């Protein structure tokens, strides 16, 4: 009877079972135009600057963790946030493969050294959650190390919060079909090819394993003190706007934007004679 019903709906039982291993397709909305996107983004960037000044004035310590599948759009939103802010206040943390020395340290040690001081914002482009994702799936850590991470991580984050750190965690969710589309775009575009690695390709074969790892990670680390916020990211533009708007809503701030400065007129010292322009070396004007 079950097989008959499945056939009527156009899918076999095996196909339906296979669907369980794929992320739910996100509801498609009308495409957001470039003009409307820039209009909304400008409003958010103005607010980000206000937040920055508040963080600086109040000596807040802000950590924003960005996780998700490869090509989910984490890097794009991080660059969008950081692009309009002072790099001395807001910095991107994107650590590479750990050195042999770092491998021998307490797991969280190299991440702890990147935490912000008062008046700083740290945007983590991937984070200590590497252990719960890529390291677990690709076999870069032992089962004991993995289980210890799941036990330790919630307490590590509670320690950060008790110390006065504002911790915000985002998971960018992308469907398997959209991820494949973005991978193909990276392969064909020479300016984006550096974004894809053999490990990214291998991860496509381990889609189910990554799904299982993500679900288990959430079950341990989606806590009341440090919840995960999921960003539907099949639509890049909407994902960026939604994430930034949500980030702004989580940290109360006031407008401390400085008033416009009036530039004084230039003073000319007639007694000074500048050296000839021919003494300088210029970049060739090829364009």
The token pair at 163 is 């110390």
Burial class (CB in 10 A: 0-12, 13-18, 19+), 231: buried
What structural domains does the chain harbor?
A: 33-279 (3.40.50.300)
pLDDT tens, the chain, 287 aa long? 444 444 445 566 555 555 555 555 667 788 889 999 999 999 999 999 999 999 999 999 999 999 999 999 999 999 999 999 999 999 999 999 999 999 999 999 999 999 999 999 999 999 999 999 999 999 999 999 999 999 999 999 999 999 999 999 999 999 989 999 998 999 899 999 988 888 888 888 899 999 999 999 999 999 999 999 999 999 999 999 999 999 999 999 999 988 899 999 888 777 888 899 999 999 999 99
SS (H, E, C) the chain: CHHHHHHHCCCCHHHHHHHCCCCCCCCCCCCCCHHHHHHHHHHHHHHHHHHHHHHHHHCCEEEEEEEECCCCCHHHHHHHHHHCCCCCCEEEECCCCCCHHHHCCCCCHHHHCCCCCCCEEEEEECCHHHCCCHHHHHCCCCHHHHHHHHHHHHHHHHHHHHCCEEEEEEEEECCHHHHHHHHHHHHHCCCCHHHCCHHHHHHHHCHHHHHHHHHHHHHHHCCCCCCEEEEECCCHHHHHHHHHHHHHHHCCCCCCCCCCCCCCCCCCCCCCCCCCHHHCCCCCCCC
The token pair at 88 is 């001395």
Q: Which residue in this structure is represented by tokens 């770092």?
A: 102
> pTM of the full predicted structure?
0.88
Give the distance between the most distant pair of CA atoms in the chain. 100
Task: Label residues 107-136 b or e (16+ Cβ within 10 Å = b).
Answer: bbebbeeebbeebbbbbbbbbbbbbbbbbb
Close Cβ partners of 223 (under 8 Å, ≥ 6 residues apart)? 154, 157, 158
Predicted pLDDT at 22:
56
Predicted pLDDT at 188:
93
């Amino acid at each position: 009877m079950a097989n008959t019903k499945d056939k009527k709906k156009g899918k076999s039982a095996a196909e339906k079972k296979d669907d369980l291993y794929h992320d739910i397709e996100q509801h498609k909305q009308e495409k957001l135009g470039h003009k409307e996107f820039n209009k909304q983004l400008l409003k958010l960037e103005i607010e980000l600057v206000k937040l920055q000044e508040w963080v600086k004035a109040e000596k807040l310590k802000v950590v924003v963790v960005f996780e998700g599948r490869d090509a989910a759009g984490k890097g794009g939103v991080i660059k969008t946030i950081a692009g309009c802010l002072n790099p001395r206040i807001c910095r991107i943390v994107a650590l590479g493969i750990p050195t042999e020395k770092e491998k021998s340290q307490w797991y969280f040690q190299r991440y702890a050294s990147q935490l912000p001081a008062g008046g700083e914002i740290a945007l983590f482009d991937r984070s200590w959650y590497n252990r719960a994702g890529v390291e677990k799936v690709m076999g870069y850590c032992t089962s004991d190390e993995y289980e210890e991470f799941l036990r330790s991580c919630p307490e590590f984050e509670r320690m950060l919060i008790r110390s006065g750190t504002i911790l915000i965690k985002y998971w960018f969710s992308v469907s398997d079909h959209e991820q494949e589309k973005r991978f193909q775009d990276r392969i064909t575009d020479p300016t984006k090819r550096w974004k894809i690695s053999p490990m990214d390709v291998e991860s496509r074969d381990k889609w189910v394993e990554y799904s299982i790892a993500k679900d288990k990670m959430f079950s341990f680390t989606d806590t009341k003190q440090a919840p995960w916020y999921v960003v539907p990211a099949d639509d890049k533009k909407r994902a960026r706007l939604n994430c930034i708007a949500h980030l702004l809503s989580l940290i109360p701030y006031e407008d401390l934007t400085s008033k416009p400065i009036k530039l004084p007129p230039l003073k000319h010292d007639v007694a000074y004679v500048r050296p000839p322009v021919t003494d300088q070396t210029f970049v060739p004007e090829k364009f």
